[in-house]
Structure 1
Amino acid sequence: MPEGPEIRRAADNIAAVLVNQEISSVRFGLPRLKRYARVLRGSHVTEVETRGKAMLTHFDNGYSIYSHNQLYGVWRVVKGHKLPKSNRSLRLLLQTPAHSAILYSASDISVMPTEELPQHPFLAKLGPDIMNPDLTWRDIERRLRQAPFCKRELATLYLDQSFLGGNGNYLRSEILHRAGLHPRRRPAELTRGERGRLARSTLEISRRSYATGGITLAPRLAASLSRHNLPREQRRFYAYGRGDLPCYHCGQTIVRTELNSRGLYYCPECQPGD
């Protein structure tokens, strides 16, 4: 499933061709939404916003499209109106005179008045967006101390969208590795310095992933590995997906475990349990 950085990058691509443009054609692949095509046709997109893993496309007629890619959804932007060949199901098509923005495979799509978005079931429970440029490490450190979150294991907390919207499986492993914290530890057990380090790592890793298109390694290390002609998937992450491989920091073997059927990776040397 794409995480906050990937959804924000997709939103940027869509905004580049839709914002301030008249929507000349609208098509919904889900029968329950087809009536909204007439409502949105001829309007202008004012903003493409992300909240966690959800994307909100706002129109100047007071309506918004909520979409969540879930596991299989993917956006494509093409020049002109000729759609690319695809075996995926078309769920949403927004066209301007010059471009087409297409959402394939996703099924979690809604159209509603913009003013009613706070009542959407997903958005109503969502924590601060990890990609919000106004989010600070102090905001995150403060949430780590709050009652709903402080006694939960970091491994589960860092997948909870009510804690921080946009966090996901690879970000969880990478953030905890960067902070040097074992996944089974709890915020209430951390020192003030450890909470601050975790909060800073949360922003550092997620924003680096956004800036690089999915690489969480420090730029110098990423460049060094690239010069060795490693495949991209082997030079993206510190821990995630690197089970049984040596840690880039200490050389210890990265451990892979599972939590609720989802892979979790950590270094036992850099992220001690105590």
Structure 2
Amino acid sequence: MPEGPEIRRAADALARALEGRRIETVRFGKAKLSRYARSLSGYRVQQIETRGKAMLTHFEHGLTIYSHNQLYGIWKIIKGHTLPESGRSVRLLLQTESHSAILYSASDISVWPTEALTEHPFLAKVGPDIMAPELHWRDIAARLNEKRFVKRSVATLYLDQAFLAGNGNYLRSEILHDARINPRARPADLSRADIGRLARSTLTISRRSYDTGGITLTPRLAGALKKQGLKRSFRRFYVFGRADRPCFHCGEVIKREEIAGRRLYHCLQCQQAA
């Protein structure tokens, strides 16, 4: 499933094509939504917003399209109105005078009055967007110390969208490794320095992934591995998907476990239990 950085990159691409422009054609893939096409056609897109893994397309007249890519959804933007051949189902089509924005395969789409979005069952529960530019590491540190989060393992916390919206499986492994935090540790078990390091790593790793298109390694390390001729899949992550391979920091073997129902990777040396 795409995580916060991937959704924000898609939103930024959509914004470049749609924001401030009049939508000439709107088409929904689900019949129950087709009645909204007329209500949205002819109006300008005011803003493309993300809330974690959800995307909000705000129109100037007070309506918003909510969409969540889930596992298989993907946006494609093309010049012109001739849609490319695809085996995927078109779930949403937005066309300006010059471009087409197509959402394929996603099934969680709805139209809301913008002022009523606080009542949306997903949006009402999510925490701050991990990709929000105004999010500061001190905000994350404060959330880690909140009563409702402080006694939960960080492995479960870093998949909980109520804690931070946009976190996901690869970010969880990479953030905890970068901060040298054992996945089973609870914020209550961590020192003030640990909390600060984890909060900073949360922003560093997620924003680096956004900047690089999905690479969490430092540019220096990623560049060195590229010079060695390694394929991109072998020079993306510190630990995620690297079970039984050596840690880039200490050489210890990376371990894979199932925690909170999802695969998690960590270094037995760098992330020792306290």
The two structures share one fold, judged by TM-score above 0.5: yes
How much is the aligned-residue C-alpha RMSD, in angstroms?
A: 0.6
How far does residue 257 in structure 1 lie from its aligned partner after superposition?
A: 0.7
- Consecutive unaligned residues of structure 1, counting only runs of 5 or more, are none
What residue number does 2:229 align with?
229
CA–CA separation in structure 1 for the residues paired with 2:192 and 2:262: 29
Kept in 1, the 8 Å contact 2:150–2:188? The answer is: yes
CA–CA separation in structure 2 for the residues paired with 1:161 and 1:235: 28
What residue number does 2:167 align with?
167
What residue number does 1:118 align with?
118
CA–CA separation in structure 2 for the residues paired with 1:225 and 1:273: 29
Kept in 1, the 8 Å contact 2:11–2:48? The answer is: yes
- In the TM superposition, 1:31-42 aligns within 5 A as 31-42=31-42
CA–CA separation in structure 1 for the residues paired with 2:149 and 2:170: 20
Identity %: 65
What residue number does 2:18 align with?
18
Secondary structure at 1:248's aligned position in 2? coil
CA–CA separation in structure 2 for the residues paired with 1:145 and 1:261: 24
Counterpart of 1:263 in structure 2: which amino acid? R
Secondary structure at 2:123's aligned position in 1? helix
1:137-192 C-alpha deviation (Å, 9 max, x unpaired): 00000000001100000100000000000000000000000000110000000000
CA–CA separation in structure 2 for the residues paired with 1:15 and 1:83: 19
How far does residue 261 in structure 1 lie from its aligned partner after superposition?
A: 3.6
Counterpart of 1:188 in structure 2: which amino acid? A
- In the TM superposition, 1:75-224 aligns within 5 A as 75-224=75-224
What residue number does 2:53 align with?
53
How far does residue 131 in structure 1 lie from its aligned partner after superposition?
A: 0.3
CA–CA separation in structure 2 for the residues paired with 1:89 and 1:83: 12
Counterpart of 2:90 in structure 1: which amino acid? L
How far does residue 228 in structure 1 lie from its aligned partner after superposition?
A: 1.1
1:77-116 C-alpha deviation (Å, 9 max, x unpaired): 0110011111111100000010000000001011011000
How far does residue 207 in structure 1 lie from its aligned partner after superposition?
A: 0.3
CA–CA separation in structure 2 for the residues paired with 1:82 and 1:132: 34
1:268 aligns with 2:268: yes
CA–CA separation in structure 2 for the residues paired with 1:16 and 1:151: 42
Kept in 1, the 8 Å contact 2:26–2:92? The answer is: yes
Kept in 1, the 8 Å contact 2:157–2:163? The answer is: yes
CA–CA separation in structure 1 for the residues paired with 2:29 and 2:231: 36
Q: Figure out how many residues of one structure are paired with residues of the other and give that number.
A: 274
Secondary structure at 2:110's aligned position in 1? strand
TM-score normalized with structure 1 length: 0.99
CA–CA separation in structure 1 for the residues paired with 2:125 and 2:34: 27
